Each structure stands twice: as C-alpha cells, then as structure tokens.
Structure 1
Amino acid sequence: MKVILQETLEGVGHLGDLINVADGFARNYLLPRRKAVEANSRSIKAFEHAKRVAAEKAKKEKLEIEAHAKKVSAVTLTIEAQVGKDDKMFGSVTAKDIAEGLAAQGFTVDRRKIQLAQPIKELGTVTVPIKMPRDVTATVTVRVVKKQEADTAAPASA
C-alpha cells in the first residue's frame, strides 16, 4: 500500500515521503496513529499544496528575519569599562553585557545567541556575530571605552 508519511519515522522514512509499505503495517500501525495517510490523488495534491504554502511562509519569515538582522547590524554598541594603569580593564565585557546593551536600544536578543568566543578584555572595537533563526547571522559592532570617573570630573574643594 502506498502512503504519505506525516512525520519522520526511524527506519521507515521522513516527513512527506511517498513510500510503499505492507498493507497490515499501514492499516494496523500507520493509519490509526495518524503517522501516515493513504496515497491517493487527492491526498497527494493536498500534501503538495501544504508543502508549497509552508515553503512560501518560510521564505517570507526568512525575509523578515533578514530585515531585522540588518537593523541589528546597523547598531554600534558603546560599553564603558573601568580601567586601571596602562588601560588594563577590570573584568571583561561578556555576552550578557552585549545583550543588555542591545535591549537598552530596543533589540531583544537571547544572550546565548551572541557568538562571543571569549569575553572582551581590552579596550577597542570588536565585531560580534549574533545567530538568528533560519541560518541568518547579524553582526554588531561593540566599542569598549574607558569609563569616565565621577570624582575626577568634580573640582577639588579646599
């Protein structure tokens, strides 16, 4: 009996496969559990239509994600860090700091999606990739600058 699989089954086939299986296997296992539908001309056309609709929806979603990634990539994030002698940073800039900076600018990004190999431990400019859904990657420019001390800006009183 020819059936169209409705889900991926180990050792049988993948979602959407048109396969030929034993009649008993189809009647007793696949069809009652709705893991497959009988392959007639109507079900084949319906499945192909559903596949086309899903492909168009995925294409539209990918375009939206790419537009969002372009907006995120346009952002330049400036993070102030405390430094000591010879501009040596205390601590480091992590993915959490970058996610908070993006959230302050109106972009919600999961910190686990920020692909920072190691925390940033020196002043300067770094481009950081951010993984988005559907294999889209945005890059954010992060500038790490010296934090201006509040007490050095205030005049000394006598």
Structure 2
Amino acid sequence: MQVILTQDVDNLGKAGELVTVKPGYGRNYLVPRGLAVSATVRNKNRLEHEKALIERRVSKERATATELAAKINIMTLQFERNTGEDEKLFGSVTSRDIQEQLKRAGVDIDHRWIQLEQSVKALGKYEVPVRLAAGVIAQLKFWVVGKDK
C-alpha cells in the first residue's frame, strides 16, 4: 500500500514523502492517527502542488536569509559594560543583548538564532554564528569593552 506522509515518521520518512507500507500498518496505524493519507490520484496531485508551493516559499526564505546574512557578516557590534579590577564584567552579554543591539541596527531576528554557547563575561572580541532560516549561517563580530569610569 502506498501512502503520503503528513508528518515525519521515525524509520519511515519525512512529511510529504510517498512511501510503501504494509496494508495493515497503513490502514490501522498511520491513517487513523493522521500520520499519512492514502496515495490516491487526487492526494498525489495535491502533494505535487504543495511541494511546488513549499519549494517557492523555501527559495524566497533562502534569498531573504542570504541577504540578511550578508548584512550581519559586515556588522561589528560594541557592548559597554562595567568591569571589576581583573577586567571581569559585572553582568554579562547574552543573546538577548545581541538581539536588542541588532534590532537597533535594523536587523530583527529571534534571539534563539544567535548560537552563543554561554553568556560573555570578559572583555574582548568575539565572533558568534547566527543560524538564519533555510540553513544559512552568518558570523557576527562584536566587542565587549569596559565603561569609562
């Protein structure tokens, strides 16, 4: 029996794929749980149409993400923080801080896209990857400097 998966199914395939399964597995498990639909001519045509729409949307997202990545790659941000005598920061620079500064610079992204492993707690120059949509990754450079006292 052939079915079209409506959701990702472990060890079987991803959403939108046409797969062959045993009839009992398809009728009694996949279809009733909404994980798949029967591969009728109508459903196959709908699948092709949806794939075309998804492909167009992904290509637009990739173009937008590439444009945004180019913008981020040339940026260098600067954060001023109070420091102690050993140049340790009072506080830290987090992905939310970076997001706010990017927003002020005209780049509005989700803070979870900023791949900062842990918050920055020392002065210096840093480079952090920013994972944008459609697998595009930008490299953001920023400085953490001490405030003048």
**Partner residue in 1 for 2:63:** 63
**Partner residue in 2 for 1:87:** 87
Query: How far, CA to CA, are the matches of 1:67 and 1:12 in structure 2?
Result: 35
CA distance 1:86–1:66, change in 2 (3 Å): same
TM-score where L is the length of structure 2: 0.72
Query: How far, CA to CA, are the matches of 1:60 and 1:44 in structure 2?
Result: 25
Local SS of the residue matching 1:145 = strand
**Partner residue in 1 for 2:111:** 111
Q: CA deviation at 1:143?
A: 0.8
Provide structure 2 residue ranges, at least 5 long, that are not aligned to the other structure.
Answer: none
Provide structure 1 residue ranges, at least 5 long, that are not aligned to the other structure.
Answer: 150-158
- Structure number with bigger Rg: 1
Give yes or no for contact 2:61–2:133 (8 Å, CA) kept in 1.
no
Query: How far, CA to CA, are the matches of 2:93 and 2:144 in structure 1?
Result: 8
Query: How far, CA to CA, are the matches of 2:35 and 2:87 in structure 1?
Result: 65
Query: How far, CA to CA, are the matches of 1:3 and 1:108 in structure 2?
Result: 40
Aligned-residue identity in percent: 31
Matches within 5 A, 1:2-151: 2-8=2-8, 14-15=14-15, 16-19=17-20, 22=23, 30=31, 35-40=36-41, 43-149=43-149
